[in-house]
Amino acid sequence: MTKENVIKLLSTVSYPGFNRDIVSFGMIKDVIIDGQTVTIELHITSQNEKKKEAVREAVKKKLAGTFKTVNIHVSADAPQQKAPLSPQEPPPVRVLENVKHVVAVASGKGGVGKSTIAANLACAFRHQGKKVGLLDLDIYGPSLPIILGFNEQPKMTADKKLVPLQRYGMEVMSFGFISGNDTPTIWRGPLVARMTEQFFQDVQWGDLDVMILDLPPGTGDVQLTLTQKLKMTGAVIVTTPQDIALADVRKGADMFKKVNTPILGVIENMSGYILDGQLSDYLSSSMVINGQDIPVNEDGSFNLKLDLFKTGGGKKESERLGVPLLGQIPISPLIMAATDEGIPIVEKEPESSVSRIYRTIAESLSASLG
């Protein structure tokens, strides 16, 4: 057992009350291995003795099966005055008391369709009878105002809180409501982090069964702020089938694992192209296109899926993460037409094959949320 192996084991020990582990918080000062004895030097600035003891016990339990003797030394800087919390003791995680579940729709890659999926997934939850909130956290490129056909701005309460806009029975908030869709946002990280916090502190959210977060691409300020300051139920990872997308998607997924945010599953978007057609003159119950045997219905209609990209990306990533592949959503003219109108496909064509996929995904997630 090497020092690196010990640190890897300790990276699975969460700091009490947080989604992050003690390694990512920088609490491991040193690891000394001497045969069957290991000594862990912890640096915890918190003055909360219960938390310190909880960390000690968790570390001992984690290493007890590997080493005969586990010694733990804890050092802390004695505060001389009330000061801002250090990185080792981050601000308390905020729990939205009136929201049962917070689910992030995320990907390390841009352009994979997160916003479209977030909007339709929220609608699918609403069709289950749930009270749903939808929050667009893409500060630099908010898409939900367009996807949901919004032109209005949110009102403000007497105590200076924004009131979410309503659409399809859901509460919706986006930075695009405030800034305007045509105005570029040129902000540094601290401003982005502060705005992210304000969407939870300064918005008058109602009682919700589930809140869907539409995250920006990457692993930047928004994601870091969320994992440090908000208690999330879990994240849904969105990818496309090809390997070039998977490289960035893996980074996004691994970020959530590192900060101990559960990954609820993977959705593969752009999973082939659906071609619907109608034959005016046909004699057979099937036809062959590009070597594929395509069934023809009694009225002459047919439905063909063409794989435009390399296949299997979603399945590959779900297996790597050890989580379910929740669904594969094809490129469909119906989705594109509905989005152009500012209406999610689940609302515009609720009985379409694509809408059924979204409903199945929502049902699977509901089962895991409990």
- Those residues whose C-beta lies under 8 Å from the C-beta of residue 48, and which sit 6 or more positions away, are none
Q: Enumerate the β-bridge partners of residue 238.
A: 267
- Domain layout of the chain by residue ranges: 3-75, 99-369
Tell the residue number behind the tokens 């749903």, with chain if given.
132
Contact 317, 239 (CB under 8 A): yes
Residue-by-residue pLDDT tens, the chain, 370 positions: 788 888 888 888 888 877 677 887 778 888 888 888 888 888 887 777 888 888 888 988 888 888 888 888 876 543 333 444 444 444 445 567 899 999 999 887 777 889 999 999 999 999 999 999 999 888 777 889 889 998 888 898 988 888 999 999 999 998 888 765 555 454 445 676 677 778 888 889 999 999 999 988 776 667 777 777 778 899 999 998 887 778 778 888 888 888 788 999 999 999 888 777 777 776 667 677 667 777 888 777 777 777 777 778 889 889 988 999 999 999 988 888 898 899 999 999 999 889 999 999 999 999 989 7
- Cβ of 206: how many Cβ atoms within 10 Å? 11
Instruction: Let me know how long the chain is.
Output: 370
Q: Hey, which bits of 121-218 come out as E strands? A: 132-136, 165-167, 170-174, 208-214
Nearest to residue 132, comparing CAs of 344, 357, 321, 351? 344
Question: Which pLDDT belongs to residue 212?
Answer: 96
Question: Which pLDDT belongs to residue 107?
Answer: 86
Q: Is 3-75 CATH 3.40.50.620?
A: no
Question: Which pLDDT belongs to residue 26?
Answer: 77
Looking at 64-183, list the stretches that DSSP marks H as alpha helix, in order from N- to C-terminal side. Answer: 114-127, 144-147, 175-179
Question: Which pLDDT belongs to residue 95?
Answer: 61
311-315 CB contacts, 8 Å cutoff, 24+ apart: 311/241, 311/271, 311/272, 312/241, 313/239, 313/240, 313/241, 313/242, 313/243, 313/245, 313/246, 313/268, 314/239, 314/241, 314/266, 314/267, 314/268, 314/271, 315/268
The three-state DSSP-derived secondary structure of 340-352 is HCCCCHHHHCCCC
Helix, strand and coil content of the chain, in percent to the nearest 5, comes to 35, 25, 40
- Those residues whose C-beta lies under 8 Å from the C-beta of residue 277, and which sit 6 or more positions away, are 301, 302, 304
Write the single-letter amino acid at 155: K
Overall pTM surpassing 0.75 (yes/no)? no
* CATH architecture, domain 99-369: 3-Layer(aba) Sandwich (3.40)
